[in-house]
Amino acid sequence: MTKHVLFLCTGNYYRSRHAAIFFKHRAARESVDWIAASRGLRIGWPGNFGAMSHYIEDRLGQLGICCDEYRHMPLQCRRCDLEQASIVVALKEDEHRPMVAKYFPDWEERVRYWHVHDVDAAHPETALPEIEGLVEVLIAELK
């Protein structure tokens, strides 16, 4: 049975989307039988225009990863998304732990927390490769 990893960020527009797309690409290459999804804890942030951040599209293009099938509007996290996941990763603990505690209090201690800043605190040239490195570590753990 295929297992699921769920990546969470605030708006499901930038960090969690990149993590999920990169995970899917790397898992397929490494024959890791896991699938990934991403959701936002509070979608609808001002400044998030369209399906996903152009920074992701640019970075994936640099990596030769097609993102056409991943262009959808941001998705709000629901309890059923958490329940379907074998692993849940929130992209920045300081930002996302309080949201998880507020909306899904019984999940706060079950989520893994990374420490990847949003574009307000880290340029995408730094943050996106950081996400990729963390995904690589996760894939190595799952092998």
Alpha helix (H) residue ranges in 1-143: 15-29, 54-63, 79-84, 93-103, 124-142
The pLDDT score that the predictor gives to residue 51 is 87
Is the model's pTM score more than 0.75? yes
3-state secondary structure at position 30: coil
Q: Report the first-to-last Cα separation within the chain, whole angstroms.
A: 15
Residues 55-101 pLDDT 10s: 999 999 999 999 888 888 999 999 999 999 999 999 999 999 999 99
| Rg over CA atoms, the chain | 14
Domain of 137, in residue numbers: 3-142
The total domain count for the chain is 1
Q: How sure is the predictor about 42, in pLDDT bands with cuts at 50, 70 and 90?
A: very high
Q: What is the CATH number of the domain that holds 26?
A: 3.40.50.2300
Strand partners, 59: none
